[in-house]
Structures are given as C-alpha cells and as structure tokens.
C-alpha cells in the first residue's frame, strides 16, 4: 500500500529523479534518493511545508534537487527505475535514508550536521541527514 498518493506521471518523475541523482550509486543508492523524495512529501515541516505531491517535491524552489537545477534531469524513466520508485512509494525504506529529508555529495567526510540536521549516515558518495522526530514527526 502506498504511503503517499501518486499517479503514473508523478511516479515517473520520481524515477527520473532517482536515476539522475544516484544512478552511479546502484539500485540501493537510487532507493535512498527515493526515500528522501517520499519523506519530503510526507513531512509537511521545515523546508517542505506545503509539498503535497511528487511533482511539487521534484521541482521545489528553493531547496530543490541539483539534477533539476543543473540540467542533468533529462533522461527518461526506464522500467527498472519505475519499479524502484514504486518500492519507495510503497513504503520501503533504506538506512541511512530511512527518515532523511536531505542528502548531498561532499568532497570529503560527511559533516555531523547540515542545515542544523544531524547526519544519519553515508552510502557510497552521499551523506544523508534526518530531522528529529520532534521537528518532523510525519517522517517517523
């Protein structure tokens, strides 16, 4: 059962985002990006108040994803990408992105905090950051 409402076009947007942001990190890295996206729709807190669907989340300004800002959000969603997106929409979560609302690729070690949010871990090149349950209870 889906944890957020979606349609096929929005699911394809999430799949494209997952591919653009983390294709080089493999399926697990792509699932983690999907976790962050779904969490942003669920959250309704901090920078994500009023984000109600995947399309709004993918194209959020300010605070959006680098792929949509810097021009590498151009590849179509493949069937395997759509299957991964559906898994995250269905509620599958991967640590360290389980409750994360942010991720980025640093040039070195992950900082302990990013925008006042604690680091929840690293997967390959990306560091993930999760709010506290007091700040964003809907992602927990």
Domain positions in the chain: 8-139
Quote the pLDDT of residue 1.
Answer: 84
CB 99 within 8 A of CB 139: yes
The whole-chain average pLDDT of the chain stands at 95
95 has pLDDT over 90: yes
What Cα–Cα distance (Å) separates residue 13 from each residue in 6, 59, 73, 124? 10, 10, 9, 24
pLDDT in tens, 107-127: 999 999 998 999 999 999 999
Helices H, strands E: what count in the chain?
Answer: 5, 4
């Amino acid at each position: 059962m889906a944890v957020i409402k979606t349609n096929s076009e929005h699911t394809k947007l999430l799949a494209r985002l997952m591919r653009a942001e983390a294709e080089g990190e493999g399926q697990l890295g792509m699932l983690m990006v999907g976790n962050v996206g779904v969490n942003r729709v669920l959250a309704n807190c901090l920078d994500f108040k009023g984000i109600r669907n995947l399309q709004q989340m993918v194209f959020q300004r300010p605070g959006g994803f680098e792929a949509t800002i810097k021009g590498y959000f151009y590849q179509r969603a493949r069937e395997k990408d759509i299957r991964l997106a559906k898994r995250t929409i269905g509620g599958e979560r991967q640590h360290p992105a389980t409750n994360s609302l942010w991720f980025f690729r640093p040039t070195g070690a992950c900082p302990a905090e990013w925008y006042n949010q604690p680091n929840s871990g690293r997967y390959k090149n990306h560091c993930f950051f999760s709010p506290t349950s007091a700040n964003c209870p809907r992602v927990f």
